[in-house]
C-alpha cells in the first residue's frame, strides 16, 4: 500500500475538514455509516488460523469464515445478534470494570483530544468517549431501563450489522495505549473497552490477521515470529558471533537449562529483526559481563502477548507458558526484556489470571543483593530496573564516549510507562550511558507519552497511512527535539516501538533512528579483555 | 480467496500476493514475481538468494534473519536490496514462496 507524500498527509491532518480542525459534522454520529476501502482496515484473519485456535484446549474461536470488509455481506452466522448480546451479557457479569465503564461516563470530553488516532485522523469516532459510545449505545438498549424505555433519547440503539461494522472499524483504530485514561476524571480504561469490542467481534468470526497470526505462532512454536527452537537458538548464536567479531568478547548463552537462577524472556523480534537484534546484543553482553546464571527458553521464547489484543483466554494461555517454563526449569525468578505490552499483562492481569506464582522467589539481584520488593507479586523484573540497580551500585564500567554518535531522546513506551510506572529507571540509565539526551515536551512524555500509533497488532503495512496519521503526535514531538537539539536517536523499551517507530521516523523525521535502551548500555559497557574494533555506530556498526 | 493466474497456472495467494500453499511454488511462479517486482532478469545471484531462503525454510520453518541470509549467500545487505528492490522480507520471500513474517516486525 503506497502512502501519500509526507507534505500532503501533513496538510491533510491540519487543514482537511474534520472535527479536529473545527469542521462540524452535518449529521448525528449514529447516522454516519462506516465505509471500508483499501488502506483503512487491516486484513481479516484467515479462517484456518481461527479454526486451529478453536481446536486448542481452553480456547474458543467459533464461526471462522471468509469475508471481506468492503463487501456488504460479511457472511455472519445466522444468530449473530444473539451471540453478540449474550457475549456482552456474559462479560458485564464477569468483568465488573466493564459494567462501571459502561455506566459512569459523564461525557465531559476530557479524553477527546488526547487520542493520537483522533489527532491524526480528525474522525469524531476516534474520540475515546465516542469509541466507548459505540458499545455503550448497545449496552443501554439491551441492559438499562432508561435505554429500553427511551431508546435513542437515552443514547441507545439496537445492534445492527452497521453497528457491528463500526465496531470493527474503531476497535482496530485504537492501540489500547491508555493515554485517554490518564485524563479521564473517572479513570475509564478505554483499552478494556476496545478489548471487549475485539472479543465480541471474534465471537462471530471477525478478527485481523496481524493479531491472529502471531498468537497462533506463539501458541504453536512459543513466539510470535514462529521461530522454531532450532531457529531461535541459531539466531541467538548468530548474534553471539557478531558480538565476538565486533568486541572480541565470547558470549556463551544457555538454552532450556534446568537449575539456572534466572529465566530471561524477551520479545522474539529481538532475536530476528533490526533494530531489535542490537538490543539483544546488548542483553547478551551485559549478562556475559556479569557472569549471570541465567537461561533462555525456546519454549517460553516470547515476552509479548498478542493475546491481550484478542481474547482474555488466549492472553491467559500465552502468559501461562512463561510461568510454566519457570517452574519446569526450577529457576528462582524471571528477568524480562524490553517489551511493551508484556508488562501490562504481567503487572495488571497475571496475578489473578495465572498466579500467584508462589513456586518462585521474590527476585533478588545476585550481583547487588537488591531485593525487588515491587516484583513480589509477579516474580518478574524489568531489564531496566535490573540495569539501573547495577549502575546505582557501581557494578558497571561504562564509557559514554562510545555512544558519542548518539544524541538521544526518550520515548516512554506506553505500557511500561502507564501500566507499570517505569519512568525513572530508563532515564537514570540514559544519564549514565550517553553524554547528552533531551526530553520531548512535557505533555508528550512520562504518563502522558504518545503512542507509536501501531500497537495492538496494528503494525501491519496495509494500514500504513492510518499508522502515519496516528503516529504523528509522537513524531511531531521528536521533530521538535531534533530541530532544537539535533537529536538523532529515539530510545525506547518496546519491540513494537523499535519496529514501528523506525517506520514512523523514516516517514516524518528521517534524520532520527530508533534504538533499544539495552543497545546503548551494550555500546557503553567496558568489558575486561575485550578487543573492540572502531565502532562508529556501536553494536550496529557493519564491519 | 485471491488467486493469481500466470501462463495458464493458478496460484492461491494472500492479500499481499504471497503464496498460501508453498507446494504450489515453481519456476513459473518465479517468473510471475519477477514481473510484479520489476526485476528484468533472474540472474544467478537471484537464484542463490532463492535457494538459500528455501533451504533455510525447509530446515527451520521460518525465513532466516536478514543477516543470516547475507552470510549464507555472501551478499552484503545492500546487494540483496539491489537484487530485490522491495527488500528481502517482501520481494525475495515472495519469490521463494515463503510466507510473510508477522509479529513485532
Q: What's the confidence (pLDDT) of residue B84? A: 93
Q: What's the confidence (pLDDT) of residue A405? A: 97
Q: Cβ(A431)–Cβ(A394) under 8 Å?
A: no
Q: What's the confidence (pLDDT) of residue B103? A: 64
Kindly name the residue from B1, B23, B40, B104 that is annotated as catalytic. Answer: B104
Q: Which residues of A323-356 are buried (b: 16+ CB within 10 A; e: fewer)?
A: bebbeebebbbbbbbbbbbbbbbbbbbbeebbbe
pLDDT reading at B104 higher than 70: no
Q: What's the confidence (pLDDT) of residue A262? A: 98
pLDDT in tens, A115-151: 999 999 999 999 999 999 999 999 999 999 999 999 9
Distance separating alpha carbons of residues A277 and A515, to the nearest angstrom: 10
What are the φ and ψ backbone dihedral angles of B19, each rounded to 5 degrees?
A: -60, 135
Range A36-39 contact pairs with CB under 8 angstroms and sequence separation of 24 or more: A36/A69, A36/A70, A36/A165, A36/A169, A37/A70, A38/A1, A38/A70, A38/A462, A39/A1, A39/A462, A39/A463, A39/A464, A39/A465, A39/A466
What are chain B's domains? 2-96 (1.10.10.370)
Determine, for residues A268 and B104 on separate chains, whether the beta-carbon distance falls below 8 Å.
yes
Taking each helix axis as running N to C, give the angle between helix A96-104 and helix A80-94, from 0 to 180 degrees, rounded to the nearest 10: 100
A310 touches B: beta carbon within 8 Å: no
Give the bridge partners for A410, in sequence order. A491
Q: Cβ(A332)–Cβ(A262) under 8 Å?
A: yes
Distance separating alpha carbons of residues A349 and A352, to the nearest angstrom: 6
Determine, for residues A210 and B16 on separate chains, whether the beta-carbon distance falls below 8 Å.
no
Q: Cβ(A502)–Cβ(A275) under 8 Å?
A: yes
Contacts of A422 (CB under 8 A, 6+ apart): A343, A382, A384, A385, A412, A416, A493
Distance separating alpha carbons of residues A478 and A484, to the nearest angstrom: 10
Determine, for residues A228 and B61 on separate chains, whether the beta-carbon distance falls below 8 Å.
yes
CA distances from A371 to A424, B54, B101 (A): 18, 48, 39
Mean residue pLDDT across chain B: 91
Distance separating alpha carbons of residues A403 and A128, to the nearest angstrom: 40
Q: How far is B55 from chain A (nearest CA, A)?
A: 13
DSSP letter, residue A398? B
Q: What's the confidence (pLDDT) of residue A529? A: 93
- Which residue of chain B is at minimal alpha-carbon distance from A215? B103
- DSSP string covering A94-116, please? H-HHHHHHHHH-----TTGGG-H
Collapsing DSSP to helix, strand or coil, A338 comes out as: coil
Q: What's the confidence (pLDDT) of residue B63? A: 92
Q: What's the confidence (pLDDT) of residue A288? A: 98
Distance separating alpha carbons of residues A451 and A123, to the nearest angstrom: 18
Ramachandran sector of residue A104 (left: φ over 0; alpha: ψ -120 to 50; beta: rest): alpha
DSSP letter, residue A29? G
Chain B residues with CB under 8 Å of a chain A CB are 1, 14-16, 59-62, 64-68, 71, 77, 101-105
Q: Sort out which chain B residues have CB atoms less than 8 A from A269's CB and list them.
A: 103-105
Q: What's the confidence (pLDDT) of residue A3? A: 85
Q: What's the confidence (pLDDT) of residue A533? A: 85
β-bridge pairing A294-295 and B9-13: unpaired
Distance separating alpha carbons of residues A261 and A247, to the nearest angstrom: 27
Q: Cβ(A218)–Cβ(A306) under 8 Å?
A: yes
- Ranges in chain A, pLDDT < 70: 1
Residue B27 confidence class, pLDDT cut points 50, 70, 90 = very high
What are the φ and ψ backbone dihedral angles of A434, each rounded to 5 degrees?
A: -125, 155
Q: How far is B23 from chain A (nearest CA, A)?
A: 17
- In the annotation, is B93 catalytic? no
Determine, for residues B15 and A268 on separate chains, whether the beta-carbon distance falls below 8 Å.
no
Identify the weakest region by mean pLDDT among A111-115, A160-164, B45-49, B88-92: B88-92
Residue A486 is placed in which grid cell? 539535533
Distance separating alpha carbons of residues B60 and A30, to the nearest angstrom: 50
CA distances from A410 to A324, A427, A530 (A): 34, 8, 29
- Which residue of chain A is at minimal alpha-carbon distance from B61? A228
- Which residue of chain B is at minimal alpha-carbon distance from A235? B65
Q: Cβ(A38)–Cβ(A31) under 8 Å?
A: no
Contacts of A51 (CB under 8 A, 6+ apart): A61, A64
Give, for B32, the enclosing helix (H) or strand (E).
Answer: helix B27-36
Residue A6 is placed in which grid cell? 509526507
In A337-384 the beta strands, taken as DSSP E runs, fall at: 380-382
Q: What's the confidence (pLDDT) of residue A543? A: 75
- Which residue of chain A is at minimal alpha-carbon distance from B78? A542
Distance separating alpha carbons of residues A161 and A74, to the nearest angstrom: 9
Q: Sort out which chain A residues have CB atoms less than 8 A from B16's CB and list them.
A: 461-462
Q: Could you tell me the maximum CA-CA distance found in chain A, to the nearest angstrom?
A: 79
Q: Cβ(A487)–Cβ(A477) under 8 Å?
A: no
Q: What's the confidence (pLDDT) of residue A375? A: 96
Distance separating alpha carbons of residues A386 and A365, to the nearest angstrom: 7
**ipTM value of the model?**
0.91
Q: What's the confidence (pLDDT) of residue B105? A: 62
Amino acid at each position: 500500500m503506497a502512502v501519500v507524500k509526507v507534505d500532503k498527509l501533513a496538510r491533510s491532518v491540519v487543514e482537511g475538514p474534520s472535527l479536529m480542525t473545527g469542521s462540524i459534522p452535518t449529521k448525528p454520529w449514529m447516522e454516519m455509516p462506516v465505509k471500508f476501502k483499501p488502506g483503512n482496515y487491516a486484513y481479516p484473519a484467515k479462517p484456518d488460523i481461527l479454526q486451529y485456535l478453536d481446536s486448542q484446549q481452553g480456547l474458543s474461536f467459533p464461526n471462522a469464515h471468509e469475508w471481506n470488509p468492503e463487501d456488504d455481506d460479511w457472511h455472519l452466522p445466522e444468530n449473530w445478534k444473539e451471540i453478540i448480546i449474550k457475549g456482552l451479557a456474559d462479560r458485564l457479569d464477569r468483568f465488573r470494570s466493564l459494567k462501571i465503564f459502561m455506566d459512569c461516563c459523564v461525557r465531559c470530553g476530557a479524553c477527546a483530544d488526547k487520542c493520537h488516532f483522533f489527532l491524526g485522523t480528525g474522525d469524531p469516532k476516534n474520540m475515546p468517549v465516542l469509541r466507548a459510545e459505540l458499545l455503550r449505545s448497545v449496552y443501554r438498549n439491551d441492559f438499562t431501563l432508561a435505554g429500553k424505555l427511551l431508546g435513542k433519547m437515552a443514547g441507545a440503539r439496537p445492534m445492527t450489522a452497521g453497528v457491528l461494522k463500526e465496531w470493527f472499524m474503531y476497535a482496530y483504530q485504537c492501540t489500547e495505549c491508555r493515554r485517554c485514561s490518564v485524563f479521564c476524571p473517572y479513570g475509564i480504561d478505554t483499552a478494556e473497552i476496545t478489548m471487549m469490542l475485539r472479543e465480541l467481534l471474534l465471537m462471530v468470526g471477525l478478527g485481523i490477521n496481524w493479531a491472529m497470526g502471531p498468537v497462533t505462532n506463539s501458541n504453536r512454536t512459543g513466539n510470535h515470529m514462529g521461530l522454531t527452537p532450532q531457529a531461535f537458538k541459531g539466531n541467538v548464536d548468530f548474534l553471539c558471533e557478531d558480538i565476538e567479531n565486533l568486541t572480541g568478547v565470547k558470549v556463551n548463552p544457555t538454552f532450556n537449562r534446568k537449575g539456572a537462577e534466572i529465566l530471561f524472556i524477551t520479545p522474539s523480534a529481538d532475536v530476528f529483526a533490526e533494530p531489535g537484534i542490537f538490543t539483544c546484543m546488548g542483553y547478551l553482553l551485559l549478562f556475559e559481563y556479569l557472569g549471570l546464571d541465567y537461561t533462555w527458553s525456546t519454549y517460553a521464547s516470547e515476552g509479548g502477548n498478542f493475546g491481550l489484543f484478542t481474547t482474555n483466554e488466549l492472553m491467559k494461555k500465552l502468559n501461562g507458558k512463561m510461568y510454566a517454563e519457570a517452574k519446569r526449569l526450577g529457576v528462582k525468578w524471571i528477568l524480562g526484556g524490553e517489551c511493551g505490552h508484556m508488562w501490562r499483562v504481567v503487572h495488571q492481569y497475571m496475578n489473578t489470571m495465572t498466579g500467584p506464582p508462589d513456586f518462585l522467589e521474590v527476585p533478588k539481584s545476585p550481583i547487588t543483593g537488591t531485593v525487588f520488593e515491587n516484583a513480589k507479586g509477579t516474580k518478574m523484573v524489568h531489564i531496566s530496573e535490573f540495569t539501573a540497580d547495577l549502575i546505582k551500585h557501581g557494578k558497571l564500567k561504562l564509557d559514554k564516549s562510545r555512544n558519542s554518535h548518539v544524541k538521544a531522546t526518550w520515548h516512554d513506551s506506553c505500557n511500561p510507562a502507564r501500566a507499570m510506572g517505569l519512568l525513572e529507571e530508563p532515564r537514570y540509565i540514559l544519564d549514565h550511558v550517553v553524554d547528552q539526551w533531551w526530553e520531548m515536551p512535557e505533555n508528550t512524555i512520562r504518563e502522558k507519552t504518545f503512542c507509536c500509533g501501531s500497537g495492538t497488532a496494528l503494525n501491519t503495512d496495509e494500514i500504513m497511512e492510518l499508522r502515519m496519521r496516528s503516529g504523528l503526535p509522537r513524531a511531531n514531538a521528536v521533530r521538535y527535539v531534533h530541530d532544537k537539539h539535533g537529536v538523532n536517536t529515539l530510545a525506547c523499551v518496546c519491540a513494537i516501538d523499535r519496529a514501528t517507530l523506525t517506520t514512523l521516523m523514516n516517514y516524518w523525521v528521517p534524520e532520527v533512528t530508533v534504538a533499544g535502551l539495552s543497545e546503548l548500555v551494550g555500546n557503553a559497557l567496558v568489558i575486561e579483555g575485550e578487543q573492540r574494533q572502531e565502532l562508529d555506530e556501536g553494536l550496529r556498526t557493519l564491519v | 480467496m485471491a488467486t493469481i493466474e500466470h501462463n495458464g497456472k493458478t496460484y492461491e495467494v494472500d492479500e499481499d500476493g504471497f503464496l498460501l500453499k508453498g507446494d504450489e511454488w515453481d519456476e513459473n511462479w518465479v517468473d510471475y514475481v519477477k514481473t510484479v517486482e520489476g526485476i528484468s532478469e533472474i540472474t544467478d545471484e537471484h537464484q542463490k538468494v532463492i535457494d538459500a531462503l528455501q533451504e533455510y525454510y525447509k530446515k527451520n520453518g521460518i525465513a532466516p534473519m536478514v543477516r543470516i541470509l547475507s552470510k549464507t549467500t555472501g551478499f552484503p545487505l545492500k546487494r540483496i536490496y539491489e537484487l530485490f528492490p522491495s527488500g528481502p522480507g517482501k520481494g525475495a520471500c515472495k519469490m521463494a514462496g515463503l510466507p510473510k513474517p508477522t509479529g513485532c516486525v
